[in-house]
């Protein structure tokens, strides 16, 4: 029997998950903070991108005008909704396959050149933009790896002030430490895979909350 006080969701590949209900969050925010929409460039609650669509298998909430316009009457009748326009309340939903942005890209020097970069400390330069992250790893003063990817905060708001406002929400603070840990661990793993020689990072010594 399903817990009537939780959010029950089934992913496109058949995984079943249960999320706690957090007052003050939209359904889209709860799903995003659970790590299920990594790399999906959400419009952060404006009902425009359509990437947060879900299908209710429990009774669906009344549709908003934006949903009828964006999804169409037939889809709405089938239980499809834009989760950014509805609060995170107990329900049962299905998630379609996520439409992710282009995968994070990295460029590594050739093996012969990389051998020259295995000595000395690893230096990391990061350009943290509103929508994307660009980074370069250097050893011995020479660039060994560069890369870029979508800023993982995109799902929390399309601009900085929206993200700061959301962070002040007590509901978000419940999920924030785990979400930040997962994001940092993911980027550290990418850096470790794409740099030659040993490296030291605070992420390698940290303990997940």
pLDDT value of position 199: 42
pLDDT value of position 40: 78
Domains by residue range for the chain, with CATH: 6-94 (3.10.20.30), 105-204 (no CATH)
Average pLDDT over residues 19-35: 85
pLDDT of residue 41 exceeding 70, the answer is yes
Mean model confidence pLDDT for the chain: 75
Q: Band the pLDDT of 111: cuts 50, 70, 90.
A: very low
Q: Each residue of 182-196: pLDDT tens digit?
A: 666 666 676 666 655
In whole angstroms, give the CA distance from residue 113 to residue 56. Answer: 54
pLDDT value of position 27: 92
Residue where the block lists tokens 């295995």: 118
Give the closest residue to 85 by CA, choosing from 54, 123, 120: 54
15-29, 108-122, 131-145: segment of lowest average pLDDT = 108-122
Average pLDDT over residues 72-94: 95
pLDDT value of position 46: 74
List C-alpha distances in Å: 126 to 114, 134, 148, 155: 20, 6, 9, 20
Residue 79 CB neighbour total at 10 angstroms:
16
Contacts of residue 164, defined as CB under 8 A and 6 or more positions apart, other chains included, come to none
12-16, 25-29, 136-140: segment of lowest average pLDDT = 136-140
pTM exceeds 0.85 for this model:
no
Query: What are the phi and psi torsion angles at 18 (to 5°)?
Result: -125, 125
pLDDT of residue 112 exceeding 70, the answer is no
Q: Each residue of 132-158: pLDDT tens digit?
A: 788 888 877 788 788 877 777 766 666
Give the closest residue to 106 by CA, choosing from 135, 141, 66, 72: 135
In whole angstroms, give the CA distance from residue 146 to residue 153. Answer: 21
pLDDT of residue 118 exceeding 70, the answer is no
Residue where the block lists tokens 């790896």: 145
Helix runs in the chain, H state only:
27-33, 65-71, 73-77, 111-114, 160-167, 170-193
Average pLDDT over residues 166-190: 65
Angle of the 160-167 helix axis to the 170-193 helix axis, nearest 10:
120
In whole angstroms, give the CA distance from residue 21 to residue 30. Answer: 8
């Amino acid at each position: 029997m399903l817990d009537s006080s939780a959010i029950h969701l089934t992913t496109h590949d058949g995984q079943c998950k249960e999320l706690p209900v957090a007052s003050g969050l939209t359904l889209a925010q709860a799903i995003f903070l659970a790590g299920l929409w990594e790399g999906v460039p959400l419009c952060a609650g404006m009902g425009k991108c359509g990437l947060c669509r879900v299908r209710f298998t429990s009774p669906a909430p009344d549709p908003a005008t934006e949903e009828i316009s964006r999804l169409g009457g037939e889809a709405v009748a089938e239980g499809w909704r834009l989760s950014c326009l509805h609060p995170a309340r107990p329900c049962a939903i299905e998630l379609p396959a996520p439409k992710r942005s282009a995968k994070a890209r990295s460029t590594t020097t050739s093996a012969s050149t990389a051998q020259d970069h295995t000595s000395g400390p690893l230096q990391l330069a990061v350009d943290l933009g509103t929508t994307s992250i660009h980074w370069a790893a250097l050893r011995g003063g020479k660039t060994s790896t560069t890369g870029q990817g979508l800023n993982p905060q995109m799902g929390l708001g399309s601009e900085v002030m929206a993200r700061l406002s959301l962070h002040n929400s007590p509901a978000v603070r419940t999920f924030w430490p785990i979400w930040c840990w997962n994001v940092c661990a993911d980027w550290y793993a990418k850096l470790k895979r794409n740099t030659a020689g040993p490296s030291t990072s605070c992420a390698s010594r940290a303990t997940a909350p």
